Amino acid sequence: MSYAANWWKDFAQTHENLKHSIAGAGAGIISSVVTCPLDVVKTRLQNQGRQEVGVVEYKGTVGTLKRIRLEEGFRGLYRGLGPTVVGYLPTWAIYFTVYDYCKIAWAKDLGHPGNDWMLHIASAMTAGMASTSLTNPVWVIKTRFMSQSKRSPNRYNNIFDAFSTIARNEGIRGFYKGLGPSLIGVSHVAIQFPLYEKLRSSLSEANVQSDTANILLASAVSKMVASTATYPHEVIRTRLQNQLVKPYKYKGICHAVKVILYEESIRGFYKGISTNLLRTVPSSAITILTYELIVRKLDHLKEL
């Protein structure tokens, strides 16, 4: 047995959360690299408010991809990938630590069985709110990188430049713009989780596909439904996070809702949704499948 396998076996026995954190971070990073261009397109479309005179709009998924590639080159399609990669490990580490703690503690206190799906949803939402709150600065920087083009007046050169510039010009509050909508968006777990479990169970009972195919299909469909139901919070979050210069156009969640509804109608809350759905299928499938594979590999090392 190799030294690495021995080390992992001893370490994993007392650090179960680390296994899930590594698997979650690895899956998230791989998924982000593959789908980053679509994430950039989605963010640009979300950030577009009412069309202004002299400003050229981004139009559709394909049109936006072509324009970014033409104006900014291949690198333009991967703006924001750095903060995304940096943010995944702490996000998943916090998420699984809080998730496991809540699931075990609440099951013990309330006398619920450990596999109670309502307990899992409550634990997942609590973990989501904790990880989102603590890592929000990274996601603000990610959103701003993805939104900026060569024509943007306030450009960041790298992560450190973005961090120091935001701290200097906006203070600590600048790192927590969009936190409200992000916390509201955690509610998508209440839709995705039970739907995923139901679909996977139904597909397994039907026995028409392999377990891997069932996981991919159930995860993709549940993610698409949950994303569509909660999508408006993403548009509001993007708009709030991208406010750099005072006076701010949007003065909070409720004010943003009123302004977007007045200027762009209900369609304004769904800008970029087609790109998001196009991105969701491969992103969810890659994330779930990679996560499962990494967990199995780490479990295998533990058993050696």
Per-residue pLDDT tens over the stretch 52-111: 777 889 999 999 999 999 999 999 999 999 999 999 889 988 888 888 888 888 888 777
Alpha helices in the chain (DSSP H): 3-14, 16-46, 61-76, 81-110, 117-147, 159-170, 179-185, 188-206, 211-230, 232-241, 253-264, 273-303
The whole model's pTM is what? Answer: 0.89
pLDDT tens-digit series, residues 166-191 = 999 999 999 999 999 999 999 998 89
SS (H, E, C) 161-201: HHHHHHHHHHCHHHHHCCHHHHHHHCCHHHHHHHHHHHHHH
**Model confidence at 213: pLDDT above 90:** no
At residue 172's C-alpha, the angle toward residues 170 and 173, to 5°, is: 70
Average pLDDT rounded to a whole number, residues 5-19 = 58
What is the rounded CA–CA span in Å between residue 174 and residue 163?
Answer: 10
Q: Which two tokens stand for residue 144?
A: 């701003």
User: Which residues make Cβ contacts (< 8 Å) with residue 146, sequence separation at least 6?
Assistant: 39, 40, 43, 44, 79, 80
Neighbours of 61 (CB within 10 A): 20
The SS3 assignment for 249 reads coil
The SS3 assignment for 3 reads helix
The SS3 assignment for 158 reads coil
Percent of the chain beyond pLDDT 70?
91
Residue whose token pair is 């634990």: 123
Residue 50: per-residue pLDDT: 85
Q: Which two tokens stand for residue 173?
A: 């509050």
Neighbours of 51 (CB within 10 A): 11
pLDDT tens-digit series, residues 234-261 = 999 999 999 998 999 999 999 999 999 9
To the question of domain 9-303 being in CATH 1.50.40.10, the answer is yes
Residue 217: per-residue pLDDT: 84
> 225 with 195: CB under 8 angstroms?
yes
> 227 with 196: CB under 8 angstroms?
no
13 burial (CB, 10 Å; 0-12 / 13-18 / 19+) is exposed
Residue 304: per-residue pLDDT: 63
DSSP, res 147: H
Instruction: Identify residue 298 by its one-letter amino acid code.
Output: L
**Model confidence at 278: pLDDT above 80:** yes
**Model confidence at 119: pLDDT above 50:** yes
Instruction: Identify residue 177 by its one-letter amino acid code.
Output: K
What is the rounded CA–CA span in Å between residue 112 and residue 72?
Answer: 54
The SS3 assignment for 111 reads coil
Residue 14: per-residue pLDDT: 46
